[in-house]
Amino acid sequence: MDKFMMIRNPILAAFGLAAAMLFAGPAQAELERVTDLQALKDNGERKPTVVMFTAENCPYCELAKEAHLGPMSRDEAHSDVNILMVEMNGEEVRDFDGDTMRGSELGNRYGARVTPTLVAFDAEGNPVGRPLVGIPNEELYRSQVRMRINAAREGS
């Protein structure tokens, strides 16, 4: 095999990988980011909502999104609930009552002091149940998320 073939193959492989990533679209585990919670309440669907408060460079947030909340947000069994995330950064977010504040202030309002924190809301935007702070036990995390989803559905 000549030198050109040895160099060309890795280059072609890298090009093919880059093209596949470009055309594959977003990852299936992606979780929708929300900046206007009031619009969810006012859109007429009257769905309860579960929000994960997240931060950049948070490995536990990525784990929660990719392994649990992302797939659950697309699961037909949970189509009656909004499963979303709010970035706890300087980005402005409108709360269910119309107040606009930074994502970190909104998180603090609902008890999110660390990330990830999951908060359930009924269809009117009222927080229900206790926040799920962190990932205390990965094996039990999905069932704990389901408990928050059920609390949001039941409004308790």
Is 41 within a domain?
A: yes
Tokens of 155: 């409004």
In the predicted model, is pLDDT for residue 3 greater than 80? no
Give the CATH number for residue 83. 3.40.30.10
pLDDT tens sequence across 71-113: 999 999 999 999 999 999 989 999 999 999 999 999 999 999 9
Is 99 within a domain?
A: yes
Percent of the chain residues topping a pLDDT of 70: 81
Closest Cα partner for 63 from 146, 142, 152? 142
Residue carrying the six token digits 């000549």:
2
pLDDT tens sequence across 97-154: 999 999 999 999 999 999 999 999 999 999 999 999 999 888 899 999 999 999 999 9
In the predicted model, is pLDDT for residue 20 greater than 90? no
pLDDT tens sequence across 31-67: 999 999 999 988 878 899 999 999 999 999 999 999 9
Closest Cα partner for 40 from 117, 156, 129, 121? 121
| CA 61 vs CA 17, 19, 48, 65, 119: distances in Å | 26, 28, 21, 6, 14
Is 44 within a domain?
A: yes
- Domain count of the fold of the chain: 1
Is 4 within a domain?
A: no
| pTM attached to this predicted model | 0.79
Is 65 within a domain?
A: yes
In the predicted model, is pLDDT for residue 6 greater than 60? no
